[in-house]
Structure 1
Amino acid sequence: MRKNTIKLAVLVAVVAAASGGAGYWAAVQREAPAQEAGAGPKVLYWYDPMVPNQHFDKPGKSPFMDMQLVPKYADEGGEAAGVKIDPSVVQNLGIRWATVELGTLADTTDVAATVQLNERQVALVQARSAGFVERVYARAPGDVIARGAPMVDLLVPDWAGAQHEFLALLRTGDPSLAQAARERLKLLGMPHELIARVEKTRQARPVVTISSPISGLIQTLDVRAGMSVGPGAPLFKINGLETVWLEAALPEAQAGQVAAKQGVEARLAAYPGDVFKGKVVAVLPEMNAESRTLRVRVELPNRDGRLKPGMFAQVRLDAGISQPVLLVPAEAVIRTGTRNVVLVEQEGGRFQPVEVQLGKEAGGKVAVLSGLTKGQKIVASGQFLIDSEASLKGVMARMQEGSAATSSDKATALYEAVGKVESIKDGEITLSHGPVASLGWGAMTMPFKLARPDMAASLKPGDTVDFGFRQGDGGYVIEKLAKSGGKP
């Protein structure tokens, strides 16, 4: 009897152990899929889309609305901010890469210019006294003459009497009278050289030869033999050629890169291979309203006379050594007209569009003032194909909207929906409403504030209503409310 009892107890224990073991393995088998499922994207927290700033550490029903909490995954930000493309597709697109580097741009500006006469080297000769032109030497406008070359012989009758009086006073031997007569000749306009000659030769010379005071180009010659001239009448005008001006038209966008005394190199088609060096003497303050260019005046030496007015030149303005800046290939920038975007490579085959602020551009490189950091890998070629892919996924649209989707914009929008009244109390109404497509909401039950407490005076629970609401600082406020088919 005792043996049978012992056998029965052992049998029960074995069965219990077997049952427990089976339960354990079943539990293990149930747990394994759960762990495998957890191998997906990591959940950071759960939240209510209506109150996104409130985070919860576990799933469940929202304490604010009649809806389930939504998980926020760790990689959602990356997907929203960029576009992911399969590596094989990237290879087929023939993408070329570039690295954001620190360097200096050639701080030069190339503009077209024309050679002009230096208006600061002008000699305008006039008649000092009334007289007659006795002779005009073989000169004509356009001739290039040397300094001291004779131009006109002028007979001045008033000088003849004054010179005879001066000679008479010299013969008296009175120095004071001679000096007074000498001063009188000067007041009549007689050149110092002529007075000295009359005093030396003791002979009157009413005919004076007027010579060129500088070497250069005869621009005007307004007298001919036999003409009478009055005091101050212009006789001829000469422009010097020792230096010439280059008049360059500088685009408005580059106006800040040029200043007076800046170094200049000029090249002319007439003299291939030759470089003429000069400096900026003036940046004229008036902008050309039609061409939107600024006139820059450059002075070049022209002692050999090779630079002729009217010649065309290519001018390179050197602004000196520029500061190191971040540089990227100019072709890497997507210019939309309102913003400049560069595609930055990220881990996992993702590309993130980044808005950048650009500086100067030269030699196929462009300076980046903000938006990138040194060493980042960017797309240099093929970015428009990636941009197309990003546009299909809405990435560029979200980026362009950016700050447009602010709370102030949302507050101005009126959202309309249809719902059923669940309860009304203290300036608040709870509605079970259908989807609100403009906000991406599904059907749910939620409370709304009333813009005016009397808006729901004629309503009761169970009524179907048409309503319109806006987003306010303290939640959603109903501004339109009426029974379906009725009037507000």
Structure 2
Amino acid sequence: MKTLPLLTTVALGCGLALVGYGSLNGTFAPRASAADRTPLYYRDPSGAPLWSAAPKKDDRGRDYLPVYDDDQATPARAKPQQQAGSPRKILYYRNPMGLPDTSPVPKKDSMGMDYIPVYEGDDTDDGTVRLSPGKIQRTGVKSEPVERRAIRVLVKAPGTIQLDERRVSVIAMRAESFVQKVADVTTGVRVKAGQPLMEVYSSAVASAAAEYLATITSKVVGGVETYGRGSRQRLVNLDVPEPVIAEMEKTRVAPVTISWSAPRDGIVLERSAIEGMRANPGDVLFRIADTSVVWALVDVAERDLGTVAVGQSVAVRARSFPGRTFTGKIAIVYPQVNRDTRTVRVRVELANPDAMLLPDMYVDAEIDTADAALVLTVPDSSVLDTGSRQAVLVDKGDGRFEPREVKLGRRGGGYIEVREGLADGEAVVTSANFLIDAESNLTAALKGFAESAPRGADAGPGHAMGDHK
């Protein structure tokens, strides 16, 4: 306790201040005063990644802070020194946050993180990215050889069911007529071809029938056959059913009323005939549609038009019958683009024997545009697409990866066609390729920056960076 005043007295008498000593490994070492030291460089007072080789001020008028050589010193245990006997040589140290800052000696950044050593051989000039086996394992890098396979592209599009225009018939009078009787047939009823629908009286038909019978029963010789053919054609022009004409020729009796029958098998879509009504020429009394074959009118997006062609197989699924698939083929691609929806209409003919597909029913179509030709393909995950440039990372082995630009084709089934840039037998990275791409960009930036910086023993970061504002 008595030595304290003596130590204080000696210290004061010698003019030594304790602040003039620095602690290093538990011992005191003299430290030069700020006036005797030369700053290596000056850093931004706010901690931003801005440096200067000479004193300057920031936008707010604050002085840049000097950084001295001993400010960069760190305990020996924290320095990423090269191991004894290591075959590789440390070229320089780069910023751990990826900033364009290097140092020839170990140092820490403003957050206290150690700079990362860059070894000889890591900055190759062959355009490849080199990763250590440990980094490859940690990042989960996986490669897969390119293969030739058939690209199967399914174009999906919505649509609706419509009647086949060629399978719709109407019954309309071609002369003024009166409906005498209507059969028990209503809208929605399925009818057979030749099934009676109604009985109609028409003075024009009756007159033509009487004239035809008079001709074929006449005993006049000469010109009768020709005249008879003309009378029969008049009945045909009035749309008198063929069975009625045949019955007249057999019985030689002109009927008072004509029985009209269904022209085809189908469903009655419309019934306008009412007993006792007057029908003018052109009035539609019945409309019948055959629904054994229907159309699916599908709206295909304009971008998929190049892969769609007549004859391709189409699978149609009705939303009313989940789990059931109707198969057909593309019959026609309509030559017009809808300006509002930017879609092209495609007609698919579908067999409908059980009449489950009804007009205006919503359906979802899948068009199989598969091509039997085998093309070079890579997985979707292997392509780095920036919009204007597509590239893959080719695995060269030994931890080396080469970025390579490619030209792509069709996509489907998780694979993409490669038209240019790759060859059979090469392997591409399918997992963690974005991490390798980021590593290559960082390596290229640091390499270009390090090449412009002197790496002498006394060269500090300020000499390498210059003014980075």
TM-score w.r.t. structure 1 length?
Answer: 0.60
CA 320–340 in structure 1, closer or farther in 2 if over 3 Å, else same: closer
Residue 213 of structure 1 pairs with residue 259 of structure 2: no
The answer on whether the counterparts of 2:183 and 2:198 sit within 8 Å (CA) in structure 1 is yes
Q: How far apart, in 2, do the equivalents of 1:232 and 1:390 lie?
A: 79
Aligned twin of 2:272: 222
The answer on whether the counterparts of 1:159 and 1:206 sit within 8 Å (CA) in structure 2 is no
Q: Report 1:23-42 matches (<5 A).
A: none
1:253 aligns to what SS in structure 2? helix
- Structure number having the greater helix percentage: 1
Q: Report 1:100-119 matches (<5 A).
A: 100-106=146-152, 108-119=154-165
Residue 146 of structure 1 pairs with residue 192 of structure 2: yes
Q: How far apart, in 2, do the equivalents of 1:212 and 1:78 lie?
A: 86
CA 106–165 in structure 1, closer or farther in 2 if over 3 Å, else same: closer
Superimposed CA distance per residue, residues 391-420 of structure 1 (whole angstroms, 9 cap, x where no aligned partner): 334579x9xxxxxxxxxxxxxxxxxxxxxx
The one-letter code sitting in structure 1 at the alignment partner of 2:263 is: P
2:294 to 244, 263, 283: 244
Superimposed CA distance per residue, residues 320-353 of structure 1 (whole angstroms, 9 cap, x where no aligned partner): 6421111111011112111212112235533222
Q: Report 1:317-332 matches (<5 A).
A: 317-319=367-369, 321-332=371-382
Query: C-alpha displacement at 1:211, in angstroms?
Result: 1.5
Kindly indicate whether structure 1 or structure 2 has the higher relative contact order, using CA contacts under 8 Å at least 6 residues apart.
Answer: 2
The one-letter code sitting in structure 2 at the alignment partner of 1:306 is: M
The answer on whether the counterparts of 2:123 and 2:443 sit within 8 Å (CA) in structure 1 is no
Percent of matched pairs sharing the same residue: 33
CA 101–178 in structure 1, closer or farther in 2 if over 3 Å, else same: closer
CA 178–374 in structure 1, closer or farther in 2 if over 3 Å, else same: closer
2:227 to 174, 180, 198: 180
Aligned twin of 1:128: 174
The answer on whether the counterparts of 2:211 and 2:231 sit within 8 Å (CA) in structure 1 is no
Q: How far apart, in 1, do the equivalents of 2:266 and 2:359 lie?
A: 12
Aligned twin of 2:307: 257
1:96 to 125, 136, 142: 142
Query: C-alpha displacement at 1:274, in angstroms?
Result: 4.4
Residue 346 of structure 1 pairs with residue 392 of structure 2: no
CA 217–77 in structure 1, closer or farther in 2 if over 3 Å, else same: farther
Q: How far apart, in 2, do the equivalents of 1:154 and 1:395 lie?
A: 93
Aligned twin of 2:109: none
CA 114–287 in structure 1, closer or farther in 2 if over 3 Å, else same: same
Residue 81 of structure 1 pairs with residue 127 of structure 2: yes
What CA RMSD, in Å, does the superposition of the two structures yield over aligned residues? 3.3
CA 231–270 in structure 1, closer or farther in 2 if over 3 Å, else same: closer
Query: C-alpha displacement at 1:101, in angstroms?
Result: 1.7
Q: Report 1:344-383 matches (<5 A).
A: 344-383=394-433
The one-letter code sitting in structure 2 at the alignment partner of 1:236 is: F
Q: How far apart, in 1, do the equivalents of 2:445 and 2:398 lie?
A: 17
Query: C-alpha displacement at 1:156, in angstroms?
Result: 0.2
CA 195–274 in structure 1, closer or farther in 2 if over 3 Å, else same: same
Residue 276 of structure 1 pairs with residue 323 of structure 2: no
2:402 aligns to what SS in structure 1? strand
The answer on whether the counterparts of 1:82 and 1:353 sit within 8 Å (CA) in structure 2 is yes
The one-letter code sitting in structure 1 at the alignment partner of 2:395 is: E
The one-letter code sitting in structure 2 at the alignment partner of 1:180 is: Y
Superimposed CA distance per residue, residues 144-166 of structure 1 (whole angstroms, 9 cap, x where no aligned partner): 32222222322101233343344
The one-letter code sitting in structure 1 at the alignment partner of 2:145 is: T
The answer on whether the counterparts of 1:83 and 1:395 sit within 8 Å (CA) in structure 2 is no
1:218 aligns to what SS in structure 2? strand
Q: How far apart, in 1, do the equivalents of 2:252 and 2:278 lie?
A: 28
Q: How far apart, in 1, do the equivalents of 2:440 and 2:254 lie?
A: 98
2:406 aligns to what SS in structure 1? strand
The answer on whether the counterparts of 2:156 and 2:366 sit within 8 Å (CA) in structure 1 is yes
Moved more, 134-143 or 267-276: 267-276
Q: How far apart, in 1, do the equivalents of 2:411 and 2:392 lie?
A: 15
Tell me the matched-pair count.
329
Query: C-alpha displacement at 1:117, in angstroms?
Result: 1.5
Moved more, 376-385 or 104-113: 104-113
Q: How far apart, in 1, do the equivalents of 2:395 and 2:215 lie?
A: 101
TM-score w.r.t. structure 2 length?
Answer: 0.62
1:301 to 351, 372, 390: 351
Structure 2 unmatched ranges of 5 or more:
1-87, 90-120, 449-465
CA 364–335 in structure 1, closer or farther in 2 if over 3 Å, else same: same
1:336 to 376, 386, 392: 386
Aligned twin of 2:335: 285
CA 206–78 in structure 1, closer or farther in 2 if over 3 Å, else same: farther
1:115 aligns to what SS in structure 2? strand
Query: C-alpha displacement at 1:202, in angstroms?
Result: 3.0
Query: C-alpha displacement at 1:195, in angstroms?
Result: 2.7
1:384 aligns to what SS in structure 2? helix
Q: How far apart, in 2, do the equivalents of 1:155 and 1:136 lie?
A: 12
